[in-house]
Amino acid sequence: PERIVILGAGHAAAQAIDTLRRRGHRGSIVLVGDEPHLPYQRPPLSKKYLAGTHERSRLLIRQARYYSERAIETRLGRRALQIDRRTQRARLDDGSDLAYDALLIATGSRARALTVPGADLDGVRYLRTMADVDSLRTGMESARRIVIIGGGYIGLEVAATCRQRGLAVTVLETQDRVMKRVVSEETSAAFTAEHLRNGVNIICGAGSLEIASHAGTQQVRAVVCDGCEHEADIVLIGVGAAAAQELACDAGLECDNGIVVDLHGRTSDASIYAAGDCTSHPSARYGGYVRLESVDNAFEQATTAALNMLGEPAEHDSVPWFWSEQFDLKLTITGLASGHDTVVVRGDPTSRCFSVCYLRGNELLAVESVGNSKDAIAARRLIAARSHLEPHHLANPACGLDRLPA
C-alpha cells in the first residue's frame, strides 16, 4: 500500500508506525488522534502521573522528533467521523478527507459510563486520558475525600494513589470482592488487605447507588449506597471500558464486543486492519474470540497488523500479559484462565508473595503473580510452550517455576 492512515493515536498506533517504517514502508503514513497529544503511555495515568511523580513529557511513547524524522504526518486533536470503504477515504471532524490504500483502526476503548442518579454532577469523574488526570489532579488539590465507584484495577490504583496523597478514600464495589472479573479470591483478598492496611475503606456488595449534591448546587456532596452516605468532594467512576468501535460498525465492518479481526489483524474488509483495545480477536491458544485491554496486547497486535499490511504474513498468537500496581504490591497476570479445571496456589496468600496457577488437564493456562516477578517471567515461557505440569510440583513454592520440568 502506498498510503497508510491510522485512526487513533495510542499504544497500538505508535507500535504500528514503528514496525511499518522499520520494515521499509516508504509510502505516506498519516496518524489521526482526537487527543491533542502524540501517542503516550496510559498505565502511569492512574499511578505515577496521578501521584505527580511522573513528568508529562515522560509519558510520550516517542518524542516529536521521532515522528518528523520518519515523515509521519500527524493530525492531532482531530476526530475521525466516518470511513467510506467504497472510495477508501476517512472523513475527519474538520471536514477533510484522507485517502488510504490501507487503514488501521486503533481507537482503543472508552470508560464505561455509569447511569445512576447524580452521575452528571460536578466533581464526578472518569479516568481514561491525560486530560482526565490533569483535571482530577486539580480537583484533588482542594479535596479531602474521594469515593471511587468500582473496585477494578483502575479504581484500586486510583485509590492507592489518592491515599498516598493524603485523601480519605472509600471504594464501593458491587461484587462481593474486588477485581472479581480478573483475579482469584486469594488475589482479591491480598489486595483488599493491602488497601485496608493503608487506610482505604473498601465496601463490597454495594447495592443501590445515588450521587447527592450540596443543596441548591450541582456540586457533589456524597455517594449514597444502600442508605449509607459516604461524603465525597470527588467521585471517580471506574466501572470498566468498552471498545471504541463505532467508526467500524457504522462502516459496516463486523463488530461484536470489539471490531472483529482475524489472526492477521484484518477486519472483514481486506484493506482495513484494527489493533488494540478496540478489537475482538481469535485466540489460537485459548479458542474463541477475546477482547483484551493491555499494553502488551496493543503492542503485539499492532506489530502483526503492520507486518501483514506490508505483505509479510504474521499471526497474532502471543501469551496475554497484564500488570497492575497498588501501594507496594504488584500484580502480574499471564495468560487467560478461562476454561481451567484446576487451580493451584503457590505460596502463602497472606505473605504478599504468591502465585495462583490455572490448569486444564495439567496444561498451564494462566498464572496470577502477586509480588512475585520471578514466577511471572517463568510463567510466560511455560504457557507459551504449552507446558504440562504436575499440580503437586506447582504447589511447592520452594521449587522455582523456572526449574519445573515442562
- Binder to ligand FAD among 18, 33, 188, 261 (CB under 6 A)? 33
Does position 244 interact with ligand FAD (CB under 6 A)? The reply is yes
Of positions 286, 322, 327, 358, contacts ligand FAD by CB under 6 A: 322
Query: Residue 8: left (phi > 0), alpha (psi -120 to 50), or beta?
Result: left
Count residues near ligand FAD (CB under 6 A). Answer: 36
163 binds ligand FAD (CB under 6 A): no
Footprint (CB under 6 A) of ligand FAD, residues 38-97: 42-43, 45-46, 79-80
Judged by phi (left if over 0) then psi (alpha if -120 to 50, else beta), residue 266 lies in beta
Contact between 35 and ligand FAD by CB under 6 A: the answer reads yes
Distance CA 230, CA 245 (A): 36
Q: Is 29 in the site for ligand FAD (CB under 6 A)?
A: no
Applying CB under 6 A, does 128 fall inside the site for ligand FAD?
yes
- Binding status of residue 290 toward ligand FAD by CB under 6 A: no
Which CB atom, from 42 or from 163, has the smaller least distance to ligand FAD?
A: 42
DSSP 17-65: HHHHHHTT--SEEEEEESSSSS-B-SGGGGTHHHHT-S-GGGGBSS-HH
Q: Helix %, strand %, coil % for the chain, to 5?
A: 25, 30, 45
Question: Is 12 a residue that touches ligand FAD (CB under 6 A)?
Answer: yes
Based on CB atoms, which residue is closest to ligand FAD, 30 or 382?
A: 30
Q: Which of 220, 298, 365, 370 binds ligand FAD (CB under 6 A)?
A: 298
Q: Is 225 in the site for ligand FAD (CB under 6 A)?
A: no
- By the 8 A CB rule, do 276 and 12 touch? yes
In the DSSP assignment, the letter for residue 179 is T
Question: Residue 107 interacts with ligand FAD (CB under 6 A)?
Answer: yes
Residue 10, interface with ligand FAD (CB under 6 A)?
yes
Q: Does 108 bind ligand FAD (CB under 6 A)?
A: yes
- Give yes or no for residue 127 binding ligand FAD (CB under 6 A): yes
| CB of 294 vs ligand FAD, minimal distance in Å | 4
Decide: helix, strand or coil at residue 164. helix
According to CB under 6 A, which residues from 170 to 209 bind ligand FAD? none
DSSP secondary structure string for all residues of 227-260: TEEEE-SEEEE---EEE--HHHHHTT--BSSSEE
Of residues 79 and 388, the one with the C-beta less far from ligand FAD: 79
By CB under 6 A, tell whether 106 contacts ligand FAD: yes
State the minimum distance, in angstroms, from the CB of residue 254 to ligand FAD.
18
Phi/psi of residue 404, nearest 5 degrees: -75, 145
Give the closest residue to 61 by CA, choosing from 96, 26, 35. Answer: 35
CB 261 → ligand FAD: shortest distance, Å? 12
Residues of this chain, 250-279, that bind ligand FAD according to CB under 6 A = 276-278
Q: How far is CA 200 from CA 124, 142, 195, 217, in A?
A: 19, 19, 5, 28
Residue 67 CB, shortest distance to ligand FAD, in Å, is 15
- Nearer Cβ to ligand FAD (44/123): 44
Please give the Cα distance from 333 to 326 (Å, whole number): 14
Phi first, then psi, for residue 155 (nearest 5°) are: -55, -45
154 binds ligand FAD (CB under 6 A): yes
On whether the CB atoms of residues 233 and 142 are closer than 8 A, the answer is yes
Give the nearest residue (CB) to ligand FAD.
Answer: 10
Q: CA 100, 102, 105: angle at the middle one, nearest 5? A: 100
Q: State yes or no: residue 34 binds ligand FAD (CB under 6 A).
A: yes
Classify 215 in phi/psi space as left (phi over 0), alpha (psi -120 to 50) or beta.
Answer: beta
- Burial of residue 65 (number of CB atoms within 10 Å: 0-12, 13-18, 19+): exposed
Q: Is 324 in the site for ligand FAD (CB under 6 A)?
A: yes
Q: Which residues bind ligand FAD (CB under 6 A)?
A: 7-13, 32-35, 42-43, 45-46, 79-80, 106-108, 127-128, 154, 244, 247, 276-278, 293-296, 298, 322-324
